[in-house]
Chains A and B, each alone.
Chain A
Amino acid sequence: MSSPVRIVGLGSVRARDATPADAEDRAGRLRGVLTALSAEGAPIRLLHGIEEVAVLAAHEALSRSGIPMPYRGDDLGVVLGVEEGIDGIKARYYQGVLADGPLGASPLTFPLTTPNTIAARISILFDLRGETLTVGGGNVAGAQALGLAVRALRDGYSALTLAGGVTCVEQEFLEAASLVGRSESGQPGGGACLFLLGLQGSASPAGGDRLLGYGEGFGPSDLQDAIWACLEDAGVPARAVGAVRTAAVCDWRSVVRAVRGAGIGVDIVRSPSSGLCSASFPLAVAEAAGQPAGGTRIPVLVVGSDCLAGAAAAVVQGGQ
């Protein structure tokens, strides 16, 4: 069993607005954030929806934690899962090159074709100078980001880490994914979910929800390995798991088999965010932390998998 990690702050944004009023509210919040952040410098202009949801989620997580912005410290880093979120940008950028040659290459759009730009945008806007990492793991990219953050905190490489996933599932991605039979989890729209994580018992600001453990697996028994590793890491016996939530998964039946194989008999609930690829796992963790299972705060197992990158699992416990 390893040290639990405290969820100090949480920010989550879904880009698929239910009503025009929701869209206007989100746009207004973004304007407010950018105006506040630009008070000390040049006006800030974001170019793409994926940046917008990421910046909003980061701002929400940091402000809920009472972290000053800009932060100006190198003990707070960013670990972000991003993969399919930039595929549409890359496709449109290259279509411009195909259509107009060198003149079609936009120097403004080009930086957004590199996966780490979203984490970098967060690091720059909020002046976070710690370790800034981007992981590409498809549906489990956000999970892997949480896993890296948990390790960095436990091993003493970081005091606080902003970690999670962001995506912007666009038409180009859906078309391409459907051609190779990987459209199972794609839903148009986008979203971001970021946690500010700190070590339990450290001097980090107070917060009640906790990530008790994390595990990952790869290969034929990836889900089973991830679940076992996670439960062991959390020090939680299978019988103590109060609920299971799934993020995006490669194959639902494999999840059921792996969960039952681990001796967990409780209901398995599919997260409403399971179509949000890289962001789906962190969103499912946020749902698990925020919703008491059966009226009490009992450990919830969150599971996700990707056809290429393997599986991940986390045990989450909401605060009292």
Chain B
Amino acid sequence: MRERVLVTGLGVVSPFNPDGGRERFWESLCAGETAVGAIRSFDASAYPCRVAAEVDRGWLQSARAPADPALCMAERAFERALEHAGIAPGSGAPRRAGIIVGTVLGGTASGERYLRARAHDAPGVTEALTQYPLRATAAALAEKAGFTGPVLTVSTACASGTDAIGLAYRRIASGSADVMVAGGVDAVCELSFSGFCALRALTPDRVRPFSRNRTGLALGEGAAFLVLEREGAAKKRAATPLGLIAGYAARADAFHLTAPHRDGRGLAAAVTGVLQDGAVGADEIDYVSAHGTGTPYNDRMETLALKTAFGARAQRVPISSVKGALGHAFGAAGAIEAAVCLLAIRDGIVPPTANLEEPDPECDLDFVPGRARSVRVRTALSVSAGFGGQNAALLIGGLV
């Protein structure tokens, strides 16, 4: 029998809370605020779309600047998660502790800095390359915490954060680790912005998930990490759990490199798989944190996938997307949304889908428009989908 996997710590850095203050993050989401605004981290004046949800870079200044923004956000969220869990770096059994980081871009902002400087023959930026590799963040965080167990970097497009948490959950459930810190990070950069702009996936103004007048996604950024612990280990050190990870599944669309399967085949399979993994029925799901990017294809696909996997229950369960508020933080998105589920369970509140003012008849589920809602959430589902047909789902439970 698998041992329960508890969540004993949570750290989030988002445009609402560059300092990593959890409550500010949660209050802003529940108040329906939005962080999408004019891009500040690079000159976007030549692009037809010029908005994103960015973390105030002034807050990210590090003693060893110039540091990569993704690394700075990851370090802050990671530290907050360990503090919340009451785990001091170097404590515990290091071989039984590890980290899994989900990221799409890694230190791409540093790579850009190097290439810009090289284009202008500017010297002195080669140090930026040390923070560029995808695996640099996981290595830096593991070193900081003194973990010598599994140290992995997962890159599954926009499902990276969800897959990182899911794989960490499996490590603990199988008994091969006691503590895993897992989550995701990504920073806004021109490389990804220009690409999504070229694919015409960006909104010129606001992100309106599940709305009839939705115009696309906005890039976002941030980092979120959960501390997962084997129940026995958490009890032994009298940790205060926030909830538990009760299941994980991932499936591929096997359809297209940049577009989701029109009927949500892969996402429906992932949701069905996670319900089986957690041994729960659709009727036991009280809240769904949707992927909800605000692109025409994603939101329609997601609606169909949830209907396929949930049957009649799909019409009755509250579903919301935080991307209207926070934009799409890619590798961090799934981890941020797992944090949303945990806080929804804690407070009995589900955040609204910001900017959902004109419901789309093709997206005809309860997407919690307008304002936050009081709901007793015992079990929540967080779903992610991404480029290449990646789909992942996490089941997050309370401690009843």
The verdict on A128 contacting chain B, using a C-beta distance below 8 Å, is: yes
The verdict on B239 contacting chain A, using a C-beta distance below 8 Å, is: no
The verdict on A272 contacting chain B, using a C-beta distance below 8 Å, is: no
Q: Name the residue among B148, B199, B269 with the largest chain A CB count within 10 angstroms.
A: B148
Please report A residues at the B interface, Cβ cutoff 8 Å. 74, 77-78, 82-84, 87, 90-91, 93-95, 97-98, 101-102, 104-107, 110-111, 113-117, 119-121, 123-124, 126-138, 141, 144, 148, 151, 155, 157, 176, 179-180, 216-219, 221-222, 225, 306, 308-310
Quick check: A116 and B155 within 8 Å, CB to CB?
yes
Given contacts A124-B389, A132-B389, contact A114 B135 (CB under 8 A): no
Residues from chain B with a CB closer than 8 A to the CB of A128 are 252, 254
The verdict on B198 contacting chain A, using a C-beta distance below 8 Å, is: yes
Quick check: A97 and B191 within 8 Å, CB to CB?
yes
Quick check: A102 and B174 within 8 Å, CB to CB?
no
Given contacts A115-B155, A135-B155, A309-B151, contact A124 B257 (CB under 8 A): yes
Quick check: B194 and A310 within 8 Å, CB to CB?
no
The verdict on B250 contacting chain A, using a C-beta distance below 8 Å, is: yes
Quick check: B119 and A218 within 8 Å, CB to CB?
no
Residues from chain B with a CB closer than 8 A to the CB of A78 are 252
Chain A residue nearest in CB terms to B116: A98
Interface residues of B in 113-148 (CB under 8 A from A): 114-116, 119, 126-127, 129-130, 132-136, 138-139, 142-143, 146-148
Residues from chain B with a CB closer than 8 A to the CB of A217 are 148
Contact of A308 among B139, B176, B199, B258 (CB under 8 A): B139
* Extra inter-chain contacts (14) besides given A129-B266, A131-B252, A134-B154, CB under 8 Å: A74-B252, A74-B269, A83-B134, A91-B111, A102-B198, A107-B198, A113-B195, A129-B265, A131-B250, A132-B389, A132-B390, A157-B170, A216-B151, A218-B98
Quick check: A124 and B254 within 8 Å, CB to CB?
yes
Quick check: A180 and B106 within 8 Å, CB to CB?
no
Q: What is the CA–CA distance of A176 and B129 in the complex, to the nearest angstrom?
A: 7
* A-B CB contact pairs (8 Å), 14 listed: A82-B155, A107-B198, A110-B198, A111-B195, A119-B388, A120-B157, A124-B257, A128-B252, A129-B265, A130-B251, A132-B250, A133-B163, A219-B94, A219-B146
Contact of A138 among B108, B116, B130, B135 (CB under 8 A): B135
Given contacts A110-B199, A135-B152, contact A120 B388 (CB under 8 A): yes
Chain A residue nearest in CB terms to B143: A219
Q: What is the CA–CA distance of A87 and B95 in the complex, to the nearest angstrom?
A: 32
The verdict on B34 contacting chain A, using a C-beta distance below 8 Å, is: no
Interface residues of B in 199-257 (CB under 8 A from A): 199, 249-257
